[in-house]
Structures are given as structure tokens and as C-alpha cells.
Amino acid sequence: MQIRHAIEADIPHMVAIAETKRVEYEGYSPVFWREALDTPPKHERYLQALLTGTDIIALVAQVGNSLAGFAIGALTTAPFVYNPGGPVCVVDDFAVTMPEEWRVVGDALLAAMSREAQTRGAVLLVVVCAQRDQAKRVLLQEAGCSVASEWHVKPL
């Protein structure tokens, strides 16, 4: 397995992995994770824009000729009411192709993201995870992450 920076040719594969994860998450929270119209082309354009950002770390895990997962981190400053001691790396998009791959592929992506974020000055990693995504939650806990916040949604 090779962990490397994402390139434009990876985007369709990243979108496919993300869509599989979105479908899973839609089962957890049908309104919040409901698919928008024209999702794949919109998501591809969004990822293309991210790959050119200087404050973005976009990594993929490649096994042979296939992608087994990806992680995208955004370097940012914490809101002014918090003081973690420096920049924060927010990892909102982080998925693997199969839940059983979190332990190896997810762990490698998370470790690489942590190293690069730290190299770029980040002092805190914030990783988004759905409450019922048990395999990802186990990985994050075993990697030393703790739950800092949860979002609760209610259709209106």
C-alpha cells in the first residue's frame, strides 16, 4: 500500500468511495445524509477545487492499481473563542472502500495526515465520524482520538 497526495485522476475513485460511505450514513440519518441532485459531478468539481488549495492535505491509499481510501484535511484556525495553541487540521472527508479496511488503510491514512498536518504547524487534528460508524470510531479511539463534540439533527 502506498499513501500519496491525491491527483486529479484520483477524483472519480474518491467520489465513488465517498458515495458508498454516504449511502451507509444515509441509513443512520436519512435527512442529513440524503443525496443531492447531480451529486457525482458536483462532488468532482468540489474535489478539483480542493486539490488546488494551499491549506488542503488530500491523501489517497493506493493498493496496486486501485484506491482503497482517502482523507482530506483542511488547515484552519480555531474559532476565536477556543485556543488549542495553533492551527487545526479538520478532516471531514475520510473514507475507505470496506469497513474492515479501517484498521490498516484508515490507520495509514490517519498517520500520514497527522504527520503532514504537524509538519505544516497544526497542533490539533479534528476528524468527523458518524455516531454509528463503529469501525471508524474504533480506529479513531485506538489512534488516541477522543470525542469532543457530536451533532444532533432533527427535521423541521
Q: What is the rounded CA–CA span in Å between residue 1 and residue 54?
A: 26
With beta carbons less than 8 A apart as the criterion, state whether 117 and 57 touch. Answer: yes
Give the CATH class of 2-142: alpha beta
Q: Would you write out the chain's pLDDT as a tens digit for each of its 156 residues?
A: 999 999 999 999 999 999 988 888 888 887 777 877 777 888 899 999 999 989 999 999 999 999 999 999 999 998 778 888 899 999 999 999 999 999 999 999 999 999 999 999 999 999 999 888 999 999 999 999 999 888 888 888
DSSP category for residue 8: G
The CA-based dihedral angle spanning residues 96, 100, 102, 108, taken in that order and rounded to the nearest 10 degrees? -90
* Count of other CB atoms within 10 angstroms of residue 84: 12
99 class by beta-carbon count within 10 Å (0-12 exposed, 13-18 middle, 19+ buried): middle
Give pTM, 2 decimals.
Answer: 0.91
H or E stretch at 1: none
What share of the chain in percent tops pLDDT 90?
69
